[in-house]
Structure 1
Amino acid sequence: MLVLLAFIIVFHITSAALLFIATIDNAWWVGEEFFADVWRVCVNNTNCTEIDASYKDYSTVQAVQATMILSTILCCIAFLIFVLQLFRLKQGERFVLTSIIQLMSCLCVMIAASIYTDRREDIHKNNAQLYSLTVDGRYGYSFILAWVAFAFTFISGLMYLILRKRK
C-alpha cells in the first residue's frame, strides 16, 4: 500500500509540474523566427512583447491564461486536500473531494488547450502583422505538455475516485 501511495503522490506532483511548465514557459506556438505563448511573443530571441489589452484577440488569450492558472491552482489544492484527507478519513472511505477538484483541474486545462487549438490562427495573425512574420509554425512543447497534463490530471482524478484507504 505504501508503494501505491508513493506512486499516487509522485503522479500528482508530476501533473502539477507539467501544468506549471505549460502555463509559464514560452513555447505554445513556435516558428522559424519567433516563439509565442499566452503571455508574450518573442522574435529572434531578443524582441519580446507582452500580450496586453491592446492586443487584437486579447479576450481569447485571457481566457486561455485564466483557465490554465485555475487548472494549476486546483491541482495544487487537490494535492493539499489529498494529504489532509489521508490523515483525516476513516479507513475504507474514498477521496471524493480530492477527485472532484482534480477533475475540475482536468476540465480547466482541457478548456484552455481547446480554446488555443481553435483560435490559434486568429491569435497569431496579429503577431504576423506586427512583426512581418508568417503565421506558419508548429505547436511547441508547452502546448503538448498542456495536453499531457490533461491526461495526467484525468487519470489522477479517476485514481482518487477509485482509491480507498487501506492498511
Structure 2
Amino acid sequence: MLVLLFFIIAFHITSAALLFIATIDNAWWVGEDFFADVWKICINNTNCTEISEEFVDYSILRAVQASMIFSTILCCIAFFIFLLQLFRLKQGERFLLTATIQLMSCLCVMIGASIYTDRRQDVHSKNEEYYLLTSEGSYGYSYILAWVSFSFTLISSLMYMILRKRK
C-alpha cells in the first residue's frame, strides 16, 4: 500500500509540474524566428511583446490564460486535500473530494487547450509584421504538455475515485 501511495503522490506532483510548465513556458506556438504562448510573443529571442488589446480576439487568450491558471490552482488544492484526507478519512472510505477537484482541474485544462486549438488562427496582431511572421508555425511543446497534463489529471482523478484508504 505504501508503494501505491508513493506512486499516486508522484503522479499528482508530476501532473502539477506539467501544468506549471505548460502555463508559464513560452512555447505554445513556435516558428523559425519566433515563439509565442498565451502571455507574449518573442521574435528573435530579443523582441518580446506582451499580448494585449492590440491583438484581435484578445478575449480568447484571456480565457485560455484563466482556465490554465485555474487548472493549476485546482491541481495544487487537490493535492493538499488529498494529504488532509489521507490522515482524516476513516478506513475504507474513498477520496471523492480529491477526485472531484482533480477532475475539475482536468476539465479546465481541456477547455483551455481546446479553445487555443480552435481559435489559434483568430489570435493575431493588428500589426502586420507580427501577423505575417506568426502565421507560419506549429504547436510547441508547452501546448503538447497541456494535453499531456490533461490526460495525467484525468487518470489521477480516476485513481482517486478508485482508491480506498487501507492499512
Using structure 1 for the length normalisation, give the TM-score: 0.96
Alignment partners' CA distance in 1, 2:89 and 2:129:
56
Summarize the alignment of residues 1-167 of structure 1 with structure 2, pairs less than 5 Å apart: 1-123=1-123, 125-126=124-125, 129-131=128-130, 132-167=132-167
Change beyond 3 A, Cα 1:40–1:134: closer
Consecutive unaligned residues in structure 2, runs of 5 or more: none
Alpha-carbon shift at residue 53 of structure 1 (Å): 2.6
Letter in 2 for 1:67: S
* Percent identity over paired residues: 76
Q: Deviations over 1:38-70 (max 9, x none)?
A: 000000000000012332221000000000000
* Amino acid in structure 1 at the alignment position of 2:38: V
Q: Give the secondary structure class of the aligned counterpart of 1:133.
A: helix
Structure 1 residue 129, shift from structure 2 partner = 2.2
Cα distance in 1 between the residues matched to 2:98 and 2:136: 41
Q: Which amino acid aligns with 2:154?
A: F
- Per the TM alignment, residue 128 of structure 1 is displaced from its structure 2 partner at its CA by 7.2
Are the counterparts in 2 of residues 98 and 157 from structure 1 also a CA contact under 8 Å? Answer: yes
Superposed displacement of residue 84, structure 1: 0.1
CA-based RMSD: 1.2
What's the offset of the Cα at 1:33? 1.0
**Deviation (angstroms), 1:22:** 0.1
* Counterpart code for 1:139: Y
Instruction: Give the CA deviation at 1:127.
Output: 7.2
The one-letter amino acid of 2:159's match is M
Deviations 1:105-159, CA, capped at 9 Å, x for gaps: 0000000000000001111x32772434151111000000000000000000000
Structure 1: 4+ residue segments shifted above 6 A: none
Q: Give the AA of the match of 1:11.
A: F
Specify the code of the residue in structure 1 equivalent to 2:68. Answer: M
